[in-house]
């Protein structure tokens, strides 16, 4: 006799949604987790890593878990890149730890290794030895991993690799997300592939994966009843998000190709114009997915045109552009925390603009963008 069908405590019913794989299938919690684990496996392959990958419900949650797994507790110091999105840093405050900000270097716009070393030594001198660094690959551009890694290893610093924007990027053929001890990928709506909301935590080993999963699912102890000894979170990726992720992964390489085409388009378009430079990988060690194309507008060389003039001119033509991330040490939320560096990231912010980079920008759209730019820069 065939085994009778499993009766669930509370089966999920996706009938109304009629998703491809769920049509006509009754799903219990076990099957849900099988699909999420399948997504994790596919992500692992995409990242070309053997390290365990935990699917969670946002990149922010992944950073929070990464910090917890790195043993960061209240009062600890964590070195952060000032030039980043706020979600990079907020989890430091969730824990009650203390962010310390570091300036960028001009090539990648990411953390300046020299400033990092300076910050570290100064903190150590003041009895505030930091335990971790959060490094961001902004707009998909990898940071100077080689140099930072050597310093971090020598000084027992855990690297949290915030590659939320950099799925498909790499440094010396190491995938972003696998640089460092813990890696983060985001699948938020605006990222290169999306699950409408979601993230990954790339873990150093199986034990931290299991611990991460435990914390992400309310820290329920392994008992048939509900037993809890510590605070957990509701951070695991949702089932439908994982299903969507499975359908998105095959699209990644094409998306990257299209993003790179946009980057090349801007490089070609701006080439004859003085005062405009396109954010570009310094050499072949750095492979960006070019999630967003960004430029610097130097008014002193661009006939007085500022990035804001350009933004408004594009807006008048219904073309969206946006200033690059405002550095964290300039944010009201973070202005009281220490900052090490000069004015590089401030200058980048003053001159930096992100341009339309979507994978769906057509040849006609490009012509419109080019024309609008030509009109304001008069070339």
Ligand X SMILES: *Cc1c(COP(=O)(O)O)cnc(C)c1O
* Site for ligand X, rule CB under 6 A: 58-60, 84-85, 87-88, 136, 162, 164-165, 186, 188, 199
Q: Closer CB to ligand X, residue 46 or residue 60?
A: 60
Catalytic member of 172, 191, 351, 367? 191
Q: How far is the CB of 262 from ligand X (least distance, A)?
A: 18
Toward ligand X, which CB reaches closer, 141 or 246? Answer: 141
| Choice between 135 and 377, CB closer to ligand X | 135
Q: How far is the CB of 87 from ligand X (least distance, A)?
A: 4
Distance in Å, CB of 328 to ligand X, minimum: 11
Q: List the one residue out of 69, 112, 65 whose CA is nearest residue 91.
A: 65
Contacts of 260 (CB under 8 A, 6+ apart): 289, 290
For ligand X, which is the closer residue by CB, 95 or 313?
A: 95
Distance CA 63, CA 42 (A): 21
Q: Which is nearer to ligand X, 79 or 164 (CB)?
A: 164
Backbone angles phi, psi at 147, to 5 degrees: -70, -40
Question: Is the distance from CB of 355 to CB of 295 less than 8 angstroms?
Answer: yes
Measured distance CA(311)–CA(313) in Å, rounded: 6
Least distance in angstroms from the C-beta of 152 to ligand X = 19
Question: Strands, E, within 176-289: which ranges?
Answer: 182-186, 199-202, 276-278, 286-287
81 and 104 Cβ atoms separated by less than 8 Å: yes
Residue among 45, 288, 27, 47 at smallest CA distance from 178: 47
Catalytic annotation on 191?
yes
Q: How far is the CB of 343 from ligand X (least distance, A)?
A: 22
Both structure tokens of 242: 């994982």
- Do the Cβ atoms of 326 and 348 come closer than 8 Å? no
3-state secondary structure 336-367: CCCEECCCHHHHHHHHEEEECCCCCCCHHHHH
Nearest CB to ligand X, comparing residues 171 and 270: 171
Q: Report which residue's Cβ sits closest to ligand X.
A: 59
Helix (H) or strand (E) holding 322: strand 322-323
Q: What is the DSSP letter of 183?
A: E
Tell me the sheet residues that pair with 296.
277, 352
CB of 345 to ligand X, least distance (A): 14
Among all residues, which ones are annotated catalytic? Answer: 191
């Amino acid at each position: 006799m065939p085994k009778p069908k499993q009766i669930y405590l509370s089966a999920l019913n996706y009938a109304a949604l009629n998703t491809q794989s769920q049509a006509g299938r009754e799903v219990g919690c076990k099957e849900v987790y099988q699909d999420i684990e399948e997504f994790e496996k596919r992500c692992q392959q995409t990242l070309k890593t053997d390290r365990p990958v935990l699917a969670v419900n946002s990149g922010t949650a992944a950073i929070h878990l990464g910090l917890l797994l790195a043993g960061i507790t209240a009062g600890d110091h964590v070195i952060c890149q000032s030039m980043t999105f706020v979600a990079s840093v907020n989890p430091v405050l969730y824990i009650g730890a203390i962010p310390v900000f570091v300036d960028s270097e001009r090539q990648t716009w990411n953390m300046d290794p020299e400033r990092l070393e300076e910050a570290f030594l100064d903190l150590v001198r003041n009895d505030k030895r930091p335990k971790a660094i959060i490094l961001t690959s902004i707009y998909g551009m990898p940071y100077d991993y080689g140099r930072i890694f050597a310093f971090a290893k020598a000084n027992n610093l855990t690297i949290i690799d915030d590659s939320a924007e950099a799925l498909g990027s790499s440094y010396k053929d190491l995938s972003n997300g696998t640089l460092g001890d813990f890696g983060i990928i985001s699948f938020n709506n605006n990222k290169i592939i999306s699950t409408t909301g979601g993230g990954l935590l790339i873990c150093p080993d199986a034990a931290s994966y299991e611990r991460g999963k435990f914390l992400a699912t309310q820290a329920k102890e392994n008992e048939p009843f509900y037993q809890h000894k510590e605070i957990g979170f509701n951070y695991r990726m949702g089932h439908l998000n994982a299903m969507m992720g499975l359908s998105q992964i095959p699209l990644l390489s094409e998306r990257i190709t299209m993003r790179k085409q946009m980057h090349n388009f801007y490089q070609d378009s701006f080439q004859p114009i003085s005062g405009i430079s396109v954010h570009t990988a310094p050499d072949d060690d750095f492979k960006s997915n070019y999630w967003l194309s960004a430029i610097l507008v130097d008014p002193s060389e661009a006939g007085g045109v500022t990035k804001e003039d350009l933004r408004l001119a594009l807006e008048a033509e219904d073309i969206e552009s946006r200033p690059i991330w405002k550095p964290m040490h300039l944010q009201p939320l973070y202005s009281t925390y220490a900052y090490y560096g000069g004015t590089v990231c401030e200058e980048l912010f003053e001159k930096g603009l992100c341009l339309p980079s979507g994978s769906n920008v057509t040849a006609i759209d490009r012509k419109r963008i080019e024309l609008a730019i030509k009109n304001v820069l008069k070339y």
